[in-house]
């Protein structure tokens, strides 16, 4: 059982608009959050972080001194701040810009204006990151479960590995694209119990990787989870037909991953 509640969270909001900052604070206070600090730009936010690490950073996209896309990448590459959950609240709809935030491992991306329930769910997801519960399986020893993670983004690989580590999964091999993933799988096919792969990758994408494992290697039993920011229905349908066990959006909720792992591993 998780020991941290939403009311225990300390949150740093980076928002240049005073009005938007007040709106966000009101929503958080409605959930009982009282430890809230505001910053109007990235420079002030970094000064705040140097003094105190919050449980969650909530940021607008367009800040006076940098974009949130650059800020999240900078924070995730910094050992001192890489594990702080990051949430984006923005009216930005360009998928290429938002994909940078997704790949970096944001806990949530909320559109402006956002629904209060969506914010509440994002706060719950934050708690799952900072106060994780280990996965308990009937037919697998979680400490012996071996996973192959395939993603061309180093930040995304680290994020997925962290989520799996929080569940108690520590034996993880990584590959930067489908071709490298195939090489690892062919070399140790019996060693892996699960594959988690991105969709859009160079050399060999996630769909081609899945098809190769299912058809060329004739392995129909290993669970393959696809994590993607793809929203094209036709492409998603083709991915499903290739033989994936489940598809997750980026950003994904750890609890959803847990529920799918129960289904594909214990059933």
- Identify which of 156, 5, 27, 154 has the alpha carbon closest to the alpha carbon of residue 89: 27
Using CA atoms, how far apart are residues 102 and 18, in angstroms rounded to an integer? Answer: 26
In terms of phi and psi (left: phi > 0; alpha: psi -120 to 50; beta: otherwise), the region of 168 is: left
Q: Do domains 6-130 and 146-266 have the same CATH topology?
A: yes
Computed over every residue of the chain, the mean pLDDT equals 90
Burial call 120-134: b when 16+ CB within 10 Å, e when fewer? eebbbbbbbbbebee
Q: Cα 129–177–219 angle (5° rounding)?
A: 90
Other CB atoms within 10 A of residue 226 CB: 24
144 confidence band (pLDDT: 50, 70, 90) = confident
- Identify which of 266, 77, 95 has the alpha carbon closest to the alpha carbon of residue 155: 77
Say if residue 96's pLDDT is above 60.
yes
Using CA atoms, how far apart are residues 224 and 265, in angstroms rounded to an integer? Answer: 11
Cis preceding-peptide flag for 248 (omega within 30 of 0)? no
Q: Quick one: which H or E segment has residue 125?
A: helix 116-130
Residue that is written with structure tokens 């999964």 in the block: 169
Q: Which residues have a Cβ under 8 Å from the Cβ of 185 and sit 6 or more positions away?
A: 148, 192, 195, 213, 217
Say if residue 38's pLDDT is above 90.
yes
Strand partners, 198: 227
Q: How is the chain split into domains, by residue range?
A: 6-130, 146-266
Using CA atoms, how far apart are residues 54 and 84, in angstroms rounded to an integer? Answer: 7
Domain 6-130 class, CATH top level:
alpha beta
State residue 109 phi and psi, 5-degree precision: -125, 115
Q: pLDDT, tens digit, for every residue of 223-261?
A: 999 988 777 777 778 888 888 998 888 887 888 888 888
- Identify which of 135, 146, 113, 163 has the alpha carbon closest to the alpha carbon of residue 258: 135
122 confidence band (pLDDT: 50, 70, 90) = very high
Q: Which residues have a Cβ under 8 Å from the Cβ of 26 and sit 6 or more positions away?
A: none
Superfamily of domain 146-266 in the CATH hierarchy: Response regulator (3.40.50.2300)
Say if residue 188's pLDDT is above 70.
no
Residue that is written with structure tokens 């995730």 in the block: 76
139 confidence band (pLDDT: 50, 70, 90) = confident
**Count of all residues that appear for the chain in the document:** 267
**Which H, E and C letters describe 170-218, residue by residue?**
CEEEEECCHHHHHHHHHHCHHHCCEEEEECCCCCCCHHHHHHHHHHHCC
Q: pLDDT, tens digit, for every residue of 158-169?
A: 999 988 998 899
């Amino acid at each position: 059982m998780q020991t941290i509640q939403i009311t225990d969270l300390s949150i740093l909001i980076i928002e240049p608009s005073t009005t938007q900052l007040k709106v966000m604070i009101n929503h958080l206070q409605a959930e009982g959050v009282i430890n809230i600090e505001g910053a109007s730009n990235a420079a002030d936010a970094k000064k705040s972080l140097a003094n105190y690490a919050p449980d969650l950073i909530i940021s607008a996209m367009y800040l006076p001194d940098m974009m949130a896309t650059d800020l999240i990448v900078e924070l995730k590459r910094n050992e001192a701040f890489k594990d702080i959950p990051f949430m984006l609240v923005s009216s930005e709809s360009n998928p290429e810009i938002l994909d940078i935030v997704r790949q970096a491992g944001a806990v949530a991306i909320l559109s402006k204006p956002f629904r209060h329930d969506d914010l509440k769910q994002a706060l719950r997801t934050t708690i799952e990151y900072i106060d994780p519960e280990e996965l308990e399986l009937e037919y697998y020893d979680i400490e012996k479960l071996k996973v192959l993670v395939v993603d061309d983004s180093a930040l995304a690989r680290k994020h997925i590995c962290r989520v799996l580590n929080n569940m108690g999964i520590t034996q993880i091999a990584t590959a930067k694209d489908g071709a490298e993933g195939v090489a690892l799988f062919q070399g140790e096919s019996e060693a892996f119990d699960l594959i988690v792969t991105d969709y859009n990758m160079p050399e060999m994408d996630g769909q081609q990787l899945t098809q190769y494992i299912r058809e060329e290697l004739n392995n129909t039993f290993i669970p393959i989870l696809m994590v993607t920011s793809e929203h094209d229905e036709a492409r998603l349908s083709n991915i499903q037909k290739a033989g994936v066990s489940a598809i997750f959006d980026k950003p994904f909720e750890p609890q959803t991953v847990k529920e799918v792992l129960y289904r594909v591993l214990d059933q």
